[in-house]
Amino acid sequence: MFRFRVCEASEVGEGELKIFAVKGAAVPILVTRVDGELIAGTSMCPHEDVSLVRGCIRNGAIVCKAHGYTFDLQTGACSHDPKLRWHVYKITVTSGQVFVDLA
Ligand code: FES
């Protein structure tokens, strides 16, 4: 497990979806903020590899704009297909810097 710096916490506002390229990570990391809590996951939808950055947050889930599938922000579970799961990363904020743990 490796810890990578993603961004500054202040770069992500409430309800925003932002993508950051992270040196050492295979794909960009998506970061959002809901009720003040920062959440990070893979930037690509597990359905058909479409970027989630143009989606939205609704009822504790990220909604993919392509086909409307929703993924729980805490567990990554998909409400449309139980075989699909959005990868949620463990996130740490230290001195205003956001880090994620990647395998
Ligand atoms: S590509 Fe995201 S729901 Fe189909």
Closest atom of ligand 1 relative to the 55 alpha carbon: 2
Give pLDDT tens digits along the chain (103 positions): 789 999 999 999 999 999 999 987 888 999 999 999 999 999 999 999 999 999 999 999 999 999 999 999 999 999 999 999 999 999 999 999 999 998 7
SS3 11: helix
Question: In the prediction, which pLDDT does 24 show?
Answer: 79
Calculate the alpha carbon distances from 68 to 14, 16, 28, 45, 86 in Å. Answer: 21, 18, 21, 11, 14
Question: In the prediction, which pLDDT does 26 show?
Answer: 82
Q: What is the pTM of this model?
A: 0.94
| CB of 53 closer than 8 Å to CB of 42 | no
Question: In the prediction, which pLDDT does 94 show?
Answer: 97
Farthest-apart Cα atoms in the chain, separation: 38
Ligand 1: which of 17, 49, 50, 53 to mutate, most ligand atoms within 8 Å of CB? 50
Given 2.102.10.10, 3.20.20.370, 3.30.70.20, 3.40.50.720, which CATH number is that of 2-102? Answer: 2.102.10.10
Contact residues of ligand 1, CB 6 A cut-off = 45, 47-48, 50, 64, 66-67, 69
- In this structure, the residue with its CA closest to atom 1 of ligand 1 is 48
Closest atom of ligand 1 relative to the 68 alpha carbon: 3
Question: In the prediction, which pLDDT does 40 show?
Answer: 97
Question: In the prediction, which pLDDT does 88 show?
Answer: 96
Would you kindly state where each structural domain of the chain is located, as residue ranges? 2-102
Question: In the prediction, which pLDDT does 25 show?
Answer: 81
Give me the sign of the Cα torsion angle 73, 79, 83, 84: negative
Ligand 1: which of 43, 51, 53, 69 to mutate, most ligand atoms within 8 Å of CB? 69
